[in-house]
Amino acid sequence: MGKRLLMFPLPFQGHHTPMLQLAEILHSKGFSISIIHTHFNSPNSANHPQFSFYPIPNSLFKDEDCSADHVVEFLNMLNKECVLPFTDLLSQILSENNVATEDEEPVACLITDALWHFTQALADSFKLPRIVLRTSNLASFLSFNSLYLLKEKGYLSAQGSQFEAPPPELSPLKVKDIPLLCVSDPEAAYELVSKLLEKTKASRGVIFNSFEELEPSSLATFRKDISVPIFVVGPFHKQVSASSSSLLAQDSSCISWLNSQSPKSVLYVSFGSIAAVNEAEFVEIAWGLANSKQPFLWAIRPGLVRGHDGPAPLPNGFLDEVADRGLVITWAPQVEVLRHPAIGGFWTHNGWNSTLESISEGIPMFCLPCFADQMANARYVTDLWRVGLRIEDEINRKDIDKAIRRLMLEKEGREIAERVACLKEKADLCIAEGGSSYKSLDNLVAHILSF
Ligand code: UDP
């Protein structure tokens, strides 16, 4: 008889998608899946008829609280507000399971996002093993692990960002890439990250959506410094059917537009689900794109421009100027877009999912990180893997235009494309039979069955 997994995603796109993908992967290994979720940003159960869904009562939070500028406060609030209703729900699920008929699968464990740190104490009290899914890469998890060092040395103080060099342990990161320095309240973020680390270390295992060949030295460091079993089993999106976990409706009409474009000619532009820019930056982005004269597909979601909940106001004359080469939509079927032969580059905010999707589809990146681990991801992309470029200073239309041409037209862009093609090949191999992620997934399944 199979076993049942209780899975609890964090209600943000970049966390929700990998948890649902992991659920699909584990379902294909014979587990039955129950998804526990908030009403806020709830999954569409119709897209996953093979799973059962359990909403947490009274968990409809206001989404204006979870903008990039308030994300730490929002996460702290979630970890407080969900304790009681989650406890009741978990207790109900487990007691129903206990009196279930013989053909009901026993619950093997709880798998939660690492940021649901309150669930560790609860899992312990129910004697339920908890495994953590960390949706960033290993390197940024390890940079969190060095934060006490940064705190000791004064980096988290108001003057922290004035320091010239970060401690050598964090290489290749620069001071401005240190995740906690890019939020409004570094101390509150430090508290959150400390709890995430402490409760992850208390768990029975941690899963990463990455692959060993991409981060070999981080994996070695993790194994040396942290005693929790680790399972690096990504890229998830290459092991599941096309994404059905989008919280916004994806506009697939862009695919027929892409069909009419030349191979590798189009720059795909999207800054994910939370990152926001101000109006002046938005105008520079728009004119930089237009002036580069390159074909582009731009996904502008509501809220991308601070102060505009609805569609962002494109500058006057922009749409006329780009009518023959640009398409603007609200939200893209991103993985399908990145796989399209017409795509030659991705201008991204470097959320980890976008970064990994780009790497494992072999697409060179133009990086515009905004906050949190995006800064570190962009640094790895440009300085370590060398599969993208970025503008270090404040963005302006002239530098954007130049950077897009370097990426899409010049020798530098072709070299980047060759390097990212090698990483794509490694990503393909790691999930094939005998590959690193393939084997790690088998280990994960055996680990869960051993509980
Ligand atoms: N995404 C999408 N359509 C878009 C933009 C993004 O489907 O127009 C998906 C993308 O494929 C990725 C997720 O949304 O899986 C964004 O996650 P990421 O970690 O890149 O960024 P976040 O939104 O968490 O900042």
Residues in the chain: 451
- Counting from 1 in the atom list of ligand 1, the atom nearest the Cα of 271 is 5
What pLDDT score does 161 carry?
A: 58
Asked if residue 295 and residue 411 are part of one domain, the reply reads yes
Asked if residue 437 and residue 415 are part of one domain, the reply reads no
User: Reduced to 3 states, what is the DSSP secondary structure of residue 22?
Assistant: helix
Q: Is 135 in the pocket of ligand 1 (CB under 6 A)?
A: no
What pLDDT score does 20 carry?
A: 97
Residue 361 has pLDDT above 60, yes or no: yes
Ligand 1 centroid–CA 271 distance in Å is 8
- As a whole number of angstroms, the distance between CA 200 and CA 355 comes to 23
* CA nearest ligand 1 atom 11, residue: 334
Asked if residue 439 and residue 423 are part of one domain, the reply reads no
Q: pLDDT for 181-216, tens place per residue?
A: 556 677 788 889 999 999 999 999 999 999 999 999
Six-digit token string for 192: 């959150």
Asked if residue 403 and residue 306 are part of one domain, the reply reads yes
Structural domain harbouring 323: 253-428
In 194-257, beta strands by DSSP E:
206-208, 230-232
> For the domain that residue 325 is a member of, what is the CATH number?
3.40.50.2000
Ligand 1 centroid–CA 262 distance in Å is 25
Residues 218-224: what's their mean pLDDT? Answer: 95
Q: What percent of the chain has pLDDT over 90?
A: 75
297 lies in some domain: yes
Residues 411-427: what's their mean pLDDT? Answer: 98
217 lies in some domain: yes
In 180-284, beta strands by DSSP E:
206-208, 230-232, 266-270
Ligand 1 centroid–CA 353 distance in Å is 6
Residue type, 191: E
Asked if residue 266 and residue 229 are part of one domain, the reply reads no
Six-digit token string for 115: 């940021």
Higher pLDDT, 265 or 169: 265
What pLDDT score does 61 carry?
A: 75
H or E segment and range at residue 353: helix 352-360
Q: Is 111 in the pocket of ligand 1 (CB under 6 A)?
A: no
Q: Is 276 in the pocket of ligand 1 (CB under 6 A)?
A: no
Angle between helices 83-98 and 71-81 (to 10 degrees): 50
Asked if residue 160 and residue 129 are part of one domain, the reply reads yes
21 lies in some domain: yes
Pocket test for ligand 1, best of 353, 359, 363, 368 (most atoms within 8 A of CB): 353
Asked if residue 274 and residue 418 are part of one domain, the reply reads yes
Asked if residue 291 and residue 196 are part of one domain, the reply reads no
Q: pLDDT for 32-84, tens place per residue?
A: 999 999 999 999 999 999 999 999 987 777 765 666 678 888 899 999 999 99
What pLDDT score does 128 carry?
A: 97
pTM: predicted TM-score of the whole model, two decimal places: 0.95
Most confident of 146-150, 240-244, 314-318: 314-318
Pocket test for ligand 1, best of 12, 13, 370, 381 (most atoms within 8 A of CB): 13
220 lies in some domain: yes
What pLDDT score does 187 carry?
A: 77
Asked if residue 290 and residue 223 are part of one domain, the reply reads no
Rg of the chain, C-alpha, whole Å: 22
Asked if residue 236 and residue 312 are part of one domain, the reply reads no
What is the DSSP secondary-structure string of 379-433? Answer: HIIIIIS--EEE--SS--HHHHHHHHHHHHHSHHHHHHHHHHHHHHHHHHHHHST
What pLDDT score does 101 carry?
A: 57
Of 185, 31, 198, the residue nearest 114 (C-alpha): 198
Residue 361 DSSP symbol:
T
Q: pLDDT for 369-390, tens place per residue?
A: 998 889 999 999 999 999 999 9
What pLDDT score does 185 carry?
A: 73
248 lies in some domain: no
Number of structural domains in the chain: 2
Asked if residue 441 and residue 366 are part of one domain, the reply reads no
**Cβ count within 10 A of residue 328:** 19
What pLDDT score does 251 carry?
A: 94
Mean model confidence pLDDT for the chain: 91
Asked if residue 438 and residue 421 are part of one domain, the reply reads no
Residues 296-322: what's their mean pLDDT? Answer: 92
